[in-house]
Amino acid sequence: MDVRTLCLGVLSFGDSSGYGLRRSIKDWFGHFGQASLGAIYPALAKLSAAGEIETIDHVNAALEKRVFRITDSGRAKLRDHLSSLSGQEMVRSPFLAGLFFAHLMEMDDVHRLVDERVAELRGEQRRLRSLPMAEMTEGQRFTIRYALATTAAGIAFMEREGRAIITAIGRERDSH
């Protein structure tokens, strides 16, 4: 799902500003997609030009704020994208990349990487648990349970082996 579709996805639940979209994408979609502001605003411009979203007039002189609403054409486009999704997952993990090349790194950096990963996992767990599951559809709850299951497995693994790998890498280094 690219940024354009992610935006349509959020807007299918209700109107939002560009800035609000960033928050929503981070908070609700964090476990399967992400988008930065610099990608969102151009995406919004393209969606507007294509008539898939429209700007809602809105009374606020001081704070410059544009609110967007998805159109019927936009809803159709979203459905369109959904029907062509695949089951693949793309993971980019600087953490695992670092560990894979730990033999070329400073021990301090390896240590930091492990600590950061644990913090990230716990943060993700917190985010997922704070989502209002009671108000969600079956599909939405499913994605959260799935993400919680893999996150929990990551945390359990790190708790079991996170400390040990540091000393193991150190030992391996000494023996060469």
Partner DNA sequence: GTGAACATGTAAATTGTTACATGATTAC
Partner DNA sequence: GTAATCATGTAACAATTTACATGTTCAC
Which residue's CB is nearer to a copy of itself, number 45 or number 107?
A: 107
Query: Containing H/E element for 108?
Result: helix 107-129
Q: How far apart are CA 153 and CA 155, in angstroms?
A: 5
Query: Residue 25 Cβ, how far from a copy of itself at the closest point, in Å?
Result: 11
Stretch that binds a copy of itself, among 19-27, 38-46, 55-63, 146-154 (CB under 8 A): 146-154
Q: What is the binding site for DNA (CB under 7 A)?
A: 2-4, 17-20, 23, 34-39, 41-45, 62-67
> What distance separates the 2 farthest-apart alpha carbons in the chain?
70
The whole-angstrom separation of Cα 119 and Cα 7 is 28
Find the shortest distance in angstroms from Cβ 97 to a copy of itself: 5
Task: Give Cα separations from 93 to 98, 99, 113, 120 (angstroms).
Answer: 9, 10, 11, 12
Contacts to a copy of itself from residues 8-67, by CB under 8 A: 9, 12, 29, 31-34
Q: What is residue 81's three-state secondary structure?
A: helix
Nearer to DNA, 66 or 141 (CB): 66
Partner interacting with residue 17 (select from DNA, a copy of itself, none; CB below 5-8 Å by kind): DNA
